[in-house]
């Protein structure tokens, strides 16, 4: 069964609680009895966002998923909706939660709504740093460098991410999750 890497970001509202709630929903999607890896939470400056956008809190999780990449995308978008994501007309506008599918085992996929592996994954420090914390040796399909190698070679104007929290106690998250089901 494939393991899927998923990036989480929030720059509106209670950012840490938003990420924690999303992690709990993703844990529920993971195959029962399998480990969910979760990177530390970092604070990062907004990238390609409107002027005045607040800083993001970002993390990455990896789950084992019994389904297709398209099914996982549908479920992650349902989680975003459940947690209050408002997809406005402004691209990269501030948001309560953003969930991006980064990779799905050894699969490659290209369609209008989903590209696996994520096409900009290796160009974004706010994704590479947390991913390197949990899967530094990972080599993406069609690539020859590990995530750690990509992070070491990254030439970016992004400021280094600032560690916010090492992880979540997901048992504590259950009190903040909305009771709708994605």
DSSP string of the chain, one letter each residue: --EEEEEEEE-SSSHHHHHHHHHHHHHHHSPTTS--EEPPEEEE--SS--TTPPPEEEEEEEEE-SS-HHHHHHHHHHHHHHTT----SSTT---S-EEEEEEETT--EE-SS-EES-TTGGG-HHHHHHHHHH-TT-B-TT--SBHHHHHHH----PPPPEEEES---HHHHGGGS-S---
Domain boundaries, the chain: 3-176
Position 158 confidence tier, pLDDT thresholds 50, 70, 90: confident
Looking at residues 151-175, what average pLDDT do you find? Answer: 77
| pLDDT recorded at residue 89 | 60
| pLDDT recorded at residue 169 | 62
pLDDT higher than 60, residue 173: no
pTM of the full structure: 0.89
pLDDT tens track for 11-43: 999 999 999 999 999 999 999 889 899 999 999
pLDDT tens track for 72-93: 999 999 999 999 887 766 677 7
Q: Which fold has domain 3-176?
A: Alpha-Beta Plaits (3.30.70)
């Amino acid at each position: 069964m494939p393991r899927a890497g998923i990036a989480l970001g929030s720059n509106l509202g209670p950012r840490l609680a938003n990420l924690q709630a999303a992690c709990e929903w993703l844990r529920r999607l993971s195959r029962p009895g399998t480990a969910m890896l979760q990177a530390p939470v970092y604070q990062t400056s907004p990238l390609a966002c409107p002027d005045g956008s607040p800083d993001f809190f970002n993390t990455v999780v990896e789950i084992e998923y019994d389904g297709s990449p398209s099914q996982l995308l549908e479920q992650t978008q349902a989680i975003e909706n459940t947690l209050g994501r408002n997809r406005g007309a402004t691209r990269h506008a501030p948001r309560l939660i953003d969930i991006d599918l980064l990779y799905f085992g050894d699969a490659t996929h290209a369609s209008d709504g989903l590209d696996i592996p994520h096409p900009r994954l290796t160009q974004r420090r706010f994704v590479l740093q947390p991913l390197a914390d949990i899967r530094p040796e990972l080599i993406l399909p069609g690539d020859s460098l590990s995530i750690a190698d990509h992070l070491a070679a990254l030439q970016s104007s992004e400021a280094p991410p600032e560690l916010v929290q090492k992880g979540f106690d997901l048992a504590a998250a259950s009190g903040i999750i909305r009771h709708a089901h994605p």
